[in-house]
Structure 1
Amino acid sequence: MDDKMTPSKLRSSGDRAVFQPLSWTAERNLMNGAIFLCLLSLPLALLIQSDMRLVYGVSTWMKPWKFSLSLGLHLASIAIFWPWLSPAPRDRWTGGLMIRLLLAMSFFELFYIASQAAIGQDSHYNVSTPFTQIMFQLMGLGAVILVATTFIAGIAVLRAPADGNPVLRRAIGLGLVLSGALGMITGAALGSNDGHLVGVPGNPADVVPLFNWSREVGDLRIGHFFGLHALQIVPLVGWIVARHANTKMALHTVHAAAALTTLVSLATLGLALSGRPIF
C-alpha cells in the first residue's frame, strides 16, 4: 500500500480487511468454544449472588466466572484473527492441531477451576493432596500450551503473504506473539511463586474491585493480565490507526503500542516481584 494513500482510502481498505474476519470466515470451532465459555459466565454470575461461600474472602465462584470470560475472549480473538495466518499452518494438519489444543486446554482449565469452586476449594496453588498437586501441575502445563500456541499463531500471521492491510497484519501478529511471550514470562513467575502475592498484606480485603489485585503488596497477576491482553490491545490500536493514518505512521503507532504494552507488563511484574503494589 502506498504511503501517500489518503486516509479515506486507507479507511475503506482497513474496514474491509478487519471486518471480513468478523464474519463466519472466522474459525468456527474456536468461535463456538468462545461463545460457549462466555455464555457459561451467566450462570456462574448467578452463583456468585446465590452461593455465599467464600474462598480467601471472595465468592468461591468468582474465579471460574472471570476465567470463563477471559478464556472466551482469548478464543474469540484468535478465531477472528485466524484467517490472517499463513496458509501452511492454517489449512494443514498443524492448524487443526492448534485449534484442538486451544479448545482442550481452555476447557480443561475452566473445568478444574469450576469443580474446585463447587467444593469450596481453590484451584491455584492448592497442593494439599496428591490429586491437587497433580492437577495444579497439569494446569501449569495447560497454560504453557495455550500461550505457546498463541505465540505460534502470531508467527504464522507475521510470516503470511503480504496481502490485505499491512498495518492490521502487523498489529494482529504482534498482539498474538506478545500475548504468548509475555503470558509465558509472567506465568512462569506466577508458577514459581508460592502464591500470586509477594509479601503479606495487613488487610487482605484492601484490593482493586473486581480484579482483586492487592493494594498493599506485590501482585503477580497484574503483569500477567496486561501481557495476555496484548492480544486485544495491539490489534485494537492497529484497527484504529489503519483507518486514520498513512501506512508508515500507522506502523510506527502499532510498534509503539506493542512496546508500551510490553513495558507495562514487565514493569508491573518487576514491581510485584519486589513486593510493591502499583495501586
Structure 2
Amino acid sequence: MSVVAVSPVSVRERWHPPLVWLAVAMFALVLFAAGGMVIDHRVITGLPAWDKPAKFALSVLIYAITWAWLIPQLSKGRRLAERAGTVAAALLAVEMVVIVVQVARGTTSHFNVSSPLNSALWYTMGASIAVVWVATAVISAVLFRNPGPDRARSLGIRYGSLLSLLGMALGFLMVGPKTGQHDLPRTISGAHTVGLPDGGPGLPLLGWSTVGGDLRIPHFVGIHALQLIPLVVIALELLSSRVGVLRDGSTRATLVTIATAAYTALLGVVTWQALRGESVVHPQALTLVSLAAVAAASAGAVTWVVARR
C-alpha cells in the first residue's frame, strides 16, 4: 500500500531513473572507498583519506533511493518533482566528484580555499549543495499536494521531508570563517567543529569531535528524519496486529505527531549542544536535563493518547 496517492504507471515508471543511477553509482563508490580505506593509509583531518567519500556516498545513496521511490508515486505535480529530482541527482553527483577528486589529490574538499583550484572546487560544491536544497524543497512542496490514503503515513512522510530540509539547512552553519580563520592569507573558511580546529580527536569512522561541539551531528540527525520518521509509522503498523489501540488510524497519526515533536526537540538539543562547543560524548548537566525533559514529555504524551483510547 502506497504512502501517497499513486498515479496509474507501469512498473518501469515506479522509480525515478536519474536518482536510481545515482544510487547505483554511490553503492559502487561505497565499496571502492571501503577498499581504499584498507589499502590507502593516508590520513586527512585525522581520518582515513577515503572515510569521507564512503560516508557521503552512503548518505547520498539513502537520499537517492528514498526520493527515487517516492517521486513516481505522486499524482499531482509529478513532472515538476521529476525535474527537481533530476537536478538534485546531477548536482549531488557533482558534489561527490569534487570530494573524490580532492581525496585523490590528498587534500580536503570542504572549506578549502588554500589555492585558486581548491577554492573553485569548494565553491562549486557549495553552490551544488544549495541548489540540491532548493530542488529537495520543491519535491517536498509537491509531496504536500498529494495526500495519501492513510493519514499517519502521509504525516510521517511530510514531517520527515520538512525535518530533512531543516537538517540540510543546518549544514550552512559550518560555512564561513570561524574563530582563528579571519587572518589573511586564509586557507580554510568554515569548520565542522565549534571552538576548535577540525581534525582533533573524534569518534571512529564518523569523525565527530569528542572534545568539542560538532555541527555534523545535527546535520546528520536532521537529514535522515526522512527515513527515521516513516520507520515509526511502519513500526506502529506492525504493532497494530497485536496492540488493539493502534488499529485506529487517528491514534497512529497522533503518535506519529508526538514522535516527530520529540525528534524535533532532539534535533534542537543536539544543535544547541554543538553551538555551545560541547562534545556529544561529554554532555553537561544542562544537556542531560534537556534530553530527560524531552523523553519525559514524549512518554507522558504517548501514555495520555493510549489511555484515552
What is the TM-score with the length of structure 1 in the denominator? 0.84
Match of 1:108 in 2: 94
SS state at 1:120 partner: coil
Could you list the per-position Cα deviations for residues 43-95 of structure 1 after superposition, in whole angstroms to 9, with x for gaps in the alignment?
1110111011111221111111111111111111111222343422x1x3x23
For the residues of structure 1 that align with 2:84 and 2:64, how far apart are their CA atoms? 12
Partner letter of residue 134 of structure 2? A
Give the Cα–Cα distance (whole angstroms) in 2 for the partners of residues 121 and 225 of structure 1: 23
CA contact (8 A) 1:148 1:180 kept: no
Who is 1:120 aligned against? Answer: 106
Q: Find the aligned partners of 1:75 and 1:156 in 2 and give their Cα distance.
A: 17
Write the letter of the residue equivalent to 1:231: L
Give yes or no for the alignment of 1:204 onto 2:204: no
How far apart are the structure 2 equivalents of 1:33 and 1:212?
25
> What aligned pairs does 1:1-279 form with structure 2 within 5 A after superposition?
16-17=1-2, 25-88=14-77, 90=78, 92=79, 94-160=80-146, 162-184=147-169, 186-192=170-176, 193=178, 194-200=190-196, 204-205=200-201, 207-243=202-238, 244=240, 245=246, 246-279=248-281
What CA distance in whole angstroms lies between the structure 1 residues aligned with 2:145 and 2:171? 26
- Looking at structure 2, the residues matched to 211 and 20 of structure 1 have their Cα atoms a distance apart, in angstroms, of 37
Q: Which residue of 2 aligns with 1:7?
A: none
Give the greater-gyration-radius structure (CA).
Answer: 2
For residue 143 of structure 1, report the CA deviation from its aligned partner.
1.4
Q: Note the aligned Cα RMSD (angstroms).
A: 2.3
Q: Which is richer in helix?
A: 1
- Please give the alpha-carbon distance, in whole angstroms, between the structure 1 residues aligned to 2:52 and 2:166: 24
Gap runs ≥5 in structure 2: 179-189, 241-245, 282-309
Q: Secondary structure at the residue paired with 2:2?
A: helix
Would the aligned equivalents of 1:208 and 1:214 in 2 still touch at CA under 8 Å?
yes
**What is the SS of the residue equivalent to 2:106?**
coil
Query: When the two structures are aligned, how many residues end up with a matched partner?
Result: 257
1:155–1:173 contact (8 Å) kept in structure 2: no
User: For residues 192 and 237 of structure 2, what CA distance do their matches in structure 1 show?
Assistant: 38
Give the CA deviation at 1:164: 2.5
Amino acid aligned to 1:154: S
CA distance in 2, matches of 1:85, 1:169: 12
SS of structure 2 residue aligned to 1:128: coil
After superposition, the Cα gap between the structure-2 partners of 1:18 and 1:175, relative to the gap in structure 1 and judged at 3 Å, is same
Closer/same/farther in 2, CA of residues 202 and 275 from structure 1, 3 Å limit: same
SS in 2 for 1:122: coil
Shift in CA distance, 117/267, structure 1 to aligned 2, threshold 3 Å: same
Q: Deviations 1:136-190 (Å, cap 9, x if unpaired)?
A: 2222221122223223222222221x34222212211221122112311x11211
Q: Which has the higher contact order (CA 8 A, sep 6+)?
A: 1
Report percent identity of matched pairs. 28
Whether contact under 8 Å (2:5, 2:149) holds in the other structure is no
State the TM-score, normalizing by the size of structure 2: 0.77
Contact 1:196 1:221 in 2 (8 A): yes
Moved runs in structure 1, 4+ residues, more than 4 A? 18-21
Q: Which residue of 2 aligns with 1:11?
A: none
Alpha-carbon distance, 1:20 to partner? 11
Q: Aligned partners of 1:57 and 1:163: how far apart in 2? A: 46
SS, match of residue 49 in structure 1: helix
